[in-house]
Amino acid sequence: MKSILRGGNRVLISKSTNVYTNLALERYLAENIKHQPKTRLLLLWRNQPCVVVGRYQNPFAESDIKYLSEKQIDLARRYSGGGTCYHDLGNLNVTIVTTREDYNRKKNLHWIVNTLNEAFNLTLHVTDRDDIFLDTFKVTGSASRLERLYAYHHFTLLINSYLNDLRRSLKSEDQMKITSKATSSVRSSVLNLADRNNSITYEKTIALLIEKFFQWNNEKTTTSCDYIDPLLYYEHIKDFENELKSQKFLYQVTPPFVYTIEHEKQPIEISVSNGIITDIKGNDSIIDKKNFLGQLFHGVYHNIQKLNKT
């Protein structure tokens, strides 16, 4: 049981494909591993279809909430910054955990880019915003969380995702209705690595990353590599997992925003703070304010949509 938390250069591959479990596992490991200077933990994971928003984003502005629930695509908020991404089994998640002093996103990204370029004959490059592009197409972004003693940097690699589902899930009709200071995503054209070189698979990529990770960190053996089943650590990760799944963390921690709709050509402005409707500007004849004021926005979202349509 203890060995999962030992420090040093290590690779862990999660056997779970549940986004909440994996985000909880990532946070648990980052917080509890005995971090040693000049070493890295590489955590590899992937999820069933889901949309993951950044810590200070508005899920209504970033994704089509209604479509997600119809298609049973999970919605999650992560602890790190950055923009929204779509995950499925063709999108590999890479997390690199270090001490706070050793945190260096550029180093991590250049390692990945050089490794993939060499192995698969690609021309990936790292941008100023710490994204990875292939020509003009994005294959990943970056996000990170810095804590007192440790930091983690994570990103995905689009290997063979359903890009139509990605585009559809991230198409928000609410985007234009929302005014907010929340972090907004920079939308980019995306590309699967496998579409450029069809020999690239999920399995090949993780085998490559494991091998090259130990070389990068000057380790002679590749023995510190383990597949882990997060279920075995449920007692340790359940608090994070419950928080990640909670309506509170999904919706209520969204930065304050104003949601503007039109009803019979008259505007209605709904102010939301901590997920709760705090103010409504609009004609009383078109909106019964007392039914909405003080309510959770995500709880009455459906009713608000009805107002918008009639």
User: 87 CB contacts (<8 Å, ≥6 apart)?
Assistant: 19, 46, 47, 49, 50, 51, 52, 93, 156, 161
Q: Which amino acid belongs to residue 125?
A: H
Under 8 Å between Cβ of 41 and 18: no
Q: Does 129 bind another protein (CB under 8 A)?
A: yes
Q: Which of 14, 39, 80, 192 binds another protein (CB under 8 A)?
A: 80
Q: Which of 69, 71, 101, 290 binds another protein (CB under 8 A)?
A: 101
Under 8 Å between Cβ of 155 and 143: yes
Q: Which range touches another protein (CB under 8 A), out of 80-88, 106-114, 165-173, 259-267?
A: 80-88
Q: Does 248 bind another protein (CB under 8 A)?
A: no
Nearer to another protein, 54 or 282 (CB): 54
Pairing type for strands 91-99 and 41-45 reads: antiparallel
DSSP helix/strand/coil, 47: coil
Q: Does 62 bind another protein (CB under 8 A)?
A: no
Q: Does 141 bind another protein (CB under 8 A)?
A: yes
Q: Does 182 bind another protein (CB under 8 A)?
A: yes
User: 149 CB contacts (<8 Å, ≥6 apart)?
Assistant: 35, 99, 100
Long-range contacts, stretch 304-308, CB < 8 angstroms, 24+ apart: 304/259, 304/261, 304/270, 305/66, 307/261, 307/263, 307/268, 308/261, 308/262, 308/263
Q: How far is the CB of 81 from another protein (least distance, A)?
A: 4
Q: Does 79 bind another protein (CB under 8 A)?
A: yes
Show contacts with another protein in window 142-161 (CB under 8 A).
142-148
Q: Does 54 bind another protein (CB under 8 A)?
A: yes
**How many alpha carbons fall within 13 Å on the CB side of residue 156?**
26
Q: Which range touches another protein (CB under 8 A), out of 7-15, 179-187, 190-198, 296-304?
A: 179-187
Q: Which range touches another protein (CB under 8 A), out of 22-30, 42-50, 75-83, 91-99?
A: 75-83
Q: Which of 4, 17, 56, 222 binds another protein (CB under 8 A)?
A: 56
Residues that bind another protein (CB under 8 A): 54-56, 79-83, 101, 105, 129-130, 141-148, 181-183, 255-256
